[in-house]
Structure 1
Amino acid sequence: RCDAAVACGSWAVALSWGWLLAALLTGRPYTPATGPAAVLIALAVAALFAAHGLGFAALRLTGAPYERARRLVGRTGHPWQSFALTGALLAWLPLWAGSALPLAGRAADPATLALLVPALLVVTPPLVAVQAWTWYAFRHRVTGPSYL
């Protein structure tokens, strides 16, 4: 039941990101997106999240789960290709949605920027370092259960 709850919650988050993207692309970020286009965008974003997860599984797993992920994500090329492509698309989507908004709505107040820029300069290097260490520490394929 816990696995089912996690899976349902993950699909709900992926669909809600798609729904938010649909609202941004219509230029009305403060009103819910409606209509078939919103449903299509939400489903497409959820499918992109699923493909990205399959690419990651193909990189990290072994045995039957690896074979299933490779079969679903495709056998052409190296597993990194699918993972990199979906990652690039996921990085591009918010930029595309942000460009659909008017410039005045995207610009922050100078006082806000005066607070955020120094904070980002302090916080970003440790975040990047921790992420790099995590990828390095867990770079090998998963061969069995590990709860540590």
Structure 2
Amino acid sequence: MLNFFTENVDFDLLRPLKTKKWIKNTSISEGYEIADLNYIFCDDEYLLEINKQYLDHDYFTDIITFDNSEEDNVIEGDIYISVDRVKENAATFHADFETEMRRVLIHGLLHLMGYDDTDEKLKAAMRAKEDQYLLLF
């Protein structure tokens, strides 16, 4: 099951059915099955509180991913996305908002599939995967 929710933000994802299909196809192509995945769109303050409470970080971020998976190659998790940060990132990177939102959607999914971005080499590999899947939307 793949769900989209909102918390503390007035936001409607454009083309939600196409987006769900794209996310599911991405997971399948990586050899994963989505059992239970929730995307929660929120504002900066909401995500800041999650960042403080669960990660002990006191700063804004665009995405926080919680992996609840108990089986290999089965995705269960919650992905929180700050709509405020995505808007700011889109402006910073001279991208349109919808493209940047899709990048963040896939970024969280890639984390749940074991991709990491803790150093420059891993970050570059993850960005290449994001670009690959953005082209398939």
Question: TM above 0.5, one fold?
Answer: no
Structure showing the higher strand proportion among its residues: 2
Q: Highest CA radius of gyration, 1 or 2?
A: 1
TM-score w.r.t. the length of structure 2 is: 0.27
Structure showing the higher helix proportion among its residues: 1
TM-score w.r.t. the length of structure 1 is: 0.26
